Structure 1
Amino acid sequence: MTKGNDGARRAKKLVLRPLALVPLVAMAVAAGLAPGVAQSQGDTIKIGVPVPLSGSSANAGQDIVNGAKLAAAKINAAGGVLGKQIELVPEDDACDAQTAVQAAQKLVDAGVVAVAGGYCSSAALPELTAFHRAGIPYVLDASTNPQLTEMGWDNVFRTIGRDDEQGPFAAGFMKNFLHAKKVAVIDDNTTYSKGLAQNTVSALKSQGVDVVYANSITPGQMDYSPTLTRVNSLSPDVIYYTGYFAEGGLMVKEARQLGYKATFMGGDANNDPTLFKTAGPAAEGMIITTAPLAQFLSTAHGYVDDYTKTYGQGPGPYSVYEYDAVGVTAKAIADAKSTNPAAIVAALHKITDYKGVTGSIGFNPKGDRSRAVYVTVIVKNDEFVPYQSLSASGKWVAMK
């Protein structure tokens, strides 16, 4: 989940403190609508899709837009909502906070009644602030930093899990499936990566696992061998890297070159096929913790087929969560029998069992998905292959 410049490129889940956002949202507030005022006045119902469409994350952003288009096409083919067609309004936020403010304001000015999207949390937070001021619901498909739904605002929802769920999941996998005694955790010093690392380290320690190394690298470097030499000398059973795939691919490659033989793992920012290009054969056997990919979901086979047929390639990791974000938003508009954003927000809060492609979707009082899931995948022959999941009874089971 990379950004166009060093700050934004690695900030898919980077979150700024709310007070620091005041200068960023000032112009959005100045031109914003009062809560609940925005209405769809034309022949269509406009749903905004803010994502990176420029910079090094443009492919991820386009993948999300593609998922939104498939959802809108299906809804419109079935007659639309409230007698109107869904009109998507994509907007480039470049995974950059300042650009995101401008993108959010453009969407407000365009008359969107709801927003479904988000990739980098560094962009999603200022967007959320602007949409909150305008009373517009924001359904996130990929921005996973906990703070987004810890603001106490009622207009934010999420079709994917949170990083403070992924950390304990990863720790449990290392402890109870890999039977690791010693673990090294490396982050890239961004808020997302450090947050995932800290949650993982805390969970590992609580389970009696020796965390022999927990420190940061500087993203964008061409050589991490000094860090990896130090880590390798500590003989960890597992190295878990919580940053992004650009550095993740290089690190696993260099770790293998230095003779590290044990398990190398990555967080969900490593679930991009570009990892294989960077790491080469060294990626083989790398394990990733992630939300379930579309190709692993029995309920998503049709989606994968439609996506592949339409776009000539398989879906990326988050387009299916965007597909459901658009779908659940349309469901809320239909339930509300209104395009008034306040009514849509209220309807979203009442949804408990939307039958999404990624499974049943309902939201807890904070707006988080109430039944979020994480799994592990393993790299085999330059593909992400389903590996292990945690059953309802707490047992690790092989995925098919």
Structure 2
Amino acid sequence: MTSSRTRRRGARSPGLAAAGAGLLLVPLAAGCGSGGSGGSGDVRIGVPAPLSGDSASAGQDILAAAKVAADEVNKAGGVKGKKIRIVQADDQCSAQQGAQAAQKLLNSGVVAVAGGYCSGAAVPAIPIYGRRNVPFVMDASTNPSLTDTGKGKVFRTCGRDDNQGLVAAKFMTGPLGAKRIALLHDNTTYAKGLADAAAASVKQAGGQVVYEDALQPGQSDYSPVLTKIASTKPDVLYFTGYYAEAGLLMKQLGLKFTLMGGDATTDSTVLKTAGSAAEGYIATTAPLAKDLPAASAFVSAYKAKNGADPGPFSVYEYDAVKVLAKVIGQTGTKGADIIKGLHGVKDFPGITGPITFDAKGDRTDPLYITVHVQNGAFTAYKKLDKSGAWVDAKSS
């Protein structure tokens, strides 16, 4: 059954195969994205994101960050004298809409794509872009399969769920001292992938997975699920789903074990949902904008333009647009040349840190930390240093 909660980062519409079949209904635009820069002489970069539905807060944040990056490039002279134009498409975090958004962007003449909050929406979009040699630089879609099967045309400024799952397992079995760990997901591509990665890493770290199952997204009462989990006597429950459910879980927990979450639970909306129950909540995530010294100018520009603080994936979208602008300025707008140029990127000075892509298109230096809620805000907490010790995440 399809519910409103299919519009999310890892969501599946009624099966990815069905979404693939639906592609036949969308006409191809001749020549779009294969080397042009738009009839108006601009350089068009597509931004697919959930602009409506339950994950719209994250999608609107990603779009806003892309526009900040484009504005900066344009004010500095653009790309070889041409302005970047951001072309948006609402993928609603579903496979079917992800495919349609991809075709819409190609029809709009984009030469590259930067975005993608939902892994489930990215899965069917990737081959659509790939067939036209349009590179896709993802800012938040973290399922490992996306770059593993992307044929070298898919890149990430964010990390991968196998990296995040490892960090989560080490933190739960290390600083938290957990032996018995419960894993709760929502059966989406992202959430189940992160739960499975965490399960494998927990076992390698000597912990015991006492529960791994899915909740039904979009419900108002998760106390039956929490009661069932409590019966397995976990030390920690690691929830790998999204912020809407995370907020409710915090409010309804009322049980004697720790609740921890993944990077899709760090949107500020969760704090509004959970209220005071969020205090002390821990999540694994890539560093947030406010905790990155190099992002201070971006944070100021974002707030000035949008009247709000940037969200958790904003800086990764900003870097995705910036690295594309840099490469397009060097290679021109032909897709195959942009892809080759991205593979040649080495230590690009991103505000999230130096960016170098490996052969698959993943960052060579993915970083995950833990954050916790202090005084009603997500705050950097702990990270692993080079020796494998947990240290203050705010330290250099």
Q: TM-score by structure 2 length?
A: 0.93
For 1:105, the equivalent position in structure 2 comes to 103
* Unaligned residue ranges in structure 2 (runs of 5+): none
Partner amino acid for 1:251? L
For 1:380, the equivalent position in structure 2 comes to 374
For 1:345, the equivalent position in structure 2 comes to 339
Q: Is 1:363 matched with 2:357? A: yes
For 2:164, the equivalent position in structure 1 comes to 166
For the Cα contact (< 8 Å) 1:376–1:387, is it kept in 2? yes
Partner amino acid for 1:62? Q
Partner amino acid for 1:117? G
Aligned sequence identity (%)? 49
Which aligned pairs between 1:1-400 and structure 2 lie closer than 5 A? 5-9=3-7, 11-14=8-11, 21-28=19-26, 30-31=28-29, 33=31, 36-256=34-254, 260-336=255-331, 338-400=332-394
Q: What secondary structure is seen at the aligned counterpart in 2 of 1:79?
A: coil
Task: Give, in whole Å, the separation in 2 of the partners of 1:328 and 1:75.
Answer: 11
Partner amino acid for 1:172? K
Task: Give, in whole Å, the separation in 1 of the partners of 2:167 and 2:199.
Answer: 11
For the Cα contact (< 8 Å) 1:5–1:55, is it kept in 2? no
Question: How far has the Cα of 1:332 moved from its partner?
Answer: 0.8
Question: How far has the Cα of 1:19 moved from its partner?
Answer: 5.5
Q: Which moved more, 1:167-176 or 1:98-107?
A: 98-107
Q: TM-score by structure 1 length?
A: 0.92
Q: Deviations over 1:199-231 (max 9, x none)?
A: 111111111112222222222222222222232
Question: How far has the Cα of 1:34 moved from its partner?
Answer: 8.5
Partner amino acid for 1:361? I
Task: Give, in whole Å, the separation in 1 of the partners of 2:362 and 2:18.
Answer: 24
Partner amino acid for 2:370? T
Task: Give, in whole Å, the separation in 1 of the partners of 2:33 and 2:90.
Answer: 24
For the Cα contact (< 8 Å) 2:28–2:107, is it kept in 1? no
Task: Give, in whole Å, the separation in 1 of the partners of 2:117 and 2:30.
Answer: 23
Q: What secondary structure is seen at the aligned counterpart in 2 of 1:368?
A: coil
Q: Which moved more, 1:65-74 or 1:188-197?
A: 188-197
Task: Give, in whole Å, the separation in 2 of the partners of 1:213 and 1:106.
Answer: 41
Q: What secondary structure is seen at the aligned counterpart in 1 of 2:219?
A: coil
Question: How far has the Cα of 1:262 moved from its partner?
Answer: 3.5
Task: Give, in whole Å, the separation in 2 of the partners of 1:231 and 1:108.
Answer: 45
Partner amino acid for 1:296? D
Question: How far has the Cα of 1:105 moved from its partner?
Answer: 1.8
Task: Give, in whole Å, the separation in 2 of the partners of 1:80 and 1:39.
Answer: 13
Count of equivalent residues: 392
* Unaligned residue ranges in structure 1 (runs of 5+): none
Q: 1:102 to 1:211 in 2, by over 3 A?
A: closer
Q: Deviations over 1:161-191 (max 9, x none)?
A: 0111111110001112212122111112222
For the Cα contact (< 8 Å) 1:15–1:192, is it kept in 2? no
Q: What secondary structure is seen at the aligned counterpart in 1 of 2:381?
A: strand
Question: How far has the Cα of 1:86 moved from its partner?
Answer: 1.0
Question: How far has the Cα of 1:124 moved from its partner?
Answer: 1.7
Task: Give, in whole Å, the separation in 2 of the partners of 1:347 and 1:47.
Answer: 16
Task: Give, in whole Å, the separation in 1 of the partners of 2:310 and 2:33.
Answer: 35
For the Cα contact (< 8 Å) 1:28–1:104, is it kept in 2? no
